[in-house]
């Protein structure tokens, strides 16, 4: 049976833009480094996840926690709806239009505002 959770207790709730696409999370290995909540990631082919640049054309996950250089495993989201203002790429920019479009193929969607803010 699925465990009930209170959305207000989620450390990454500030990233969420809606609930039409469920958030599917997992713990994965990451290339060591200091990253912030909302960093966009891609699998590097060896099983590690690494931040993507804004000009990249593919991504696999969104980082759901801040990290330090010592972190080896982190919580990520494989799917969900996220505020575009809350995500960041390795070059400290937001995702390009091409990256936003590519994200849709893996069920990651970006919104300008939260569904809760739309009245």
Task: Kindly report, residue by residue over 19-58, the tens digit of the pLDDT.
Answer: 888 999 999 999 999 999 999 999 999 989 999 999 999 9
The answer to whether residue 14 sits within a structural domain is no
pLDDT tens figures, 84-96: 999 999 999 999 9
Could you tell me how many helices (H) and strands (E) the chain has, helices first? 1, 6
Total number of domains constituting the chain? 1
The answer to whether residue 5 sits within a structural domain is no
The answer to whether residue 83 sits within a structural domain is yes
The answer to whether residue 89 sits within a structural domain is yes
- Give, as one character, the DSSP assignment of residue 15: G
Helix (H) or strand (E) holding 102: helix 97-104
- Give, as one character, the DSSP assignment of residue 105: T
Q: Note the maximum CA span of the chain.
A: 45
CATH code of the domain in which 37 resides: 2.40.300.10
Whole-model pTM? 0.85
Mean pLDDT of 74-102: 95
Q: Which domain holds residue 92?
A: 21-110
92/2: higher pLDDT = 92
The answer to whether residue 54 sits within a structural domain is yes
The answer to whether residue 94 sits within a structural domain is yes
Mean pLDDT of 107-112: 94
Asked whether the beta carbons of 62 and 25 are under 8 A apart, the reply is no
């Amino acid at each position: 049976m699925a465990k009930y959770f209170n959305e207000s207790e989620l450390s990454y709730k500030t990233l969420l833009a809606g609930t039409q696409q469920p958030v599917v999370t997992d713990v994965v290995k990451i290339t060591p480094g200091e990253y912030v909540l909302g960093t966009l990631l891609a699998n590097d082919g060896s099983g590690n996840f690494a931040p993507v640049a804004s000009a990249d054309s593919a991504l696999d996950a969104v980082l759901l926690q801040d990290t330090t250089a010592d972190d080896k495993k982190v919580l990520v989201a494989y799917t969900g709806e996220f505020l575009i203002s809350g995500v960041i790429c390795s070059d400290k920019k937001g995702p390009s239009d091409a990256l936003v479009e590519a994200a849709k193929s893996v069920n990651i969607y970006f919104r300008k505002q939260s569904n809760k803010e739309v009245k």
